Amino acid sequence: MIVWLNGTFGAGKTTTAKELTALLPDARIFDSEYVGLLLRHLLGSVPVDDFQDWPPWRGLVVETAAQVHAYVGGTLVVPQTVLVEAYWQELRTGMEKAGLPVHLVLLHADDDTLRQRIDGDTVEAGARQWRLDHLAPYAAALPWLRPAADTVVDTAGAEPRAVAERIAAAVRA
């Protein structure tokens, strides 16, 4: 199974993924950003705004998830923002065709909470403006993101462990 944690920067995807893998048996984090880093090295001469814009990223994420799952089984937790509906459909359809059931979780927080979290991030402070610039596209994507999600969790004021417990319960149901 794939548990895809979607939501914008500051929603709590990375922290929740860590907590969630402790709650689900045989779960591991599959960080699809590494596929983007690989392609950035290979396709750097092909300009895009985001590595998700490269069609090979979407195909390689599906194929990598399928290969890893076939090898180790369990649950792959993917903490990755996807704001383009067509990209999400391509990913979900590809994984389901590969025999991987997908549970899409939308981690959501209000704009003020997101801005506070982004401003307070001292680990990747250099990404601050890039993350802030993605708040408007996230808001614009909410009309398709909410209905597409199997589970929506408001992370504002919620402890990461409680968020992960809610997701684990939804996945088990």
Beta bridge partners of 3: 77, 103
| Pairwise CA distance, residues 52 & 33, whole Å | 9
Q: Considering only CA atoms, which of 93, 118, 119, 120 is closest in space to residue 104?
A: 93
Beta bridge partners of 27: 75
Question: What pTM was estimated for this model as a whole?
Answer: 0.94
pLDDT at 5: 98
Which element (helix H / strand E) includes 77?
strand 75-79
Asked if 36 and 52 touch (Cβ cutoff 8 Å), the reply is yes
Asked if 164 and 23 touch (Cβ cutoff 8 Å), the reply is yes
What does the mean pLDDT of the chain come to? 95
Token look-up 């209000």 returns: 110
First-to-last alpha carbon distance for the chain, in angstroms, is 13
List per-residue pLDDT tens for the chain, 173 residues long. Answer: 999 999 998 899 999 999 999 999 999 999 999 999 999 999 989 999 899 999 999 999 999 999 999 999 999 999 999 999 999 999 999 999 999 999 999 999 999 998 898 888 877 777 888 888 889 999 999 999 999 999 999 999 999 999 999 999 999 98
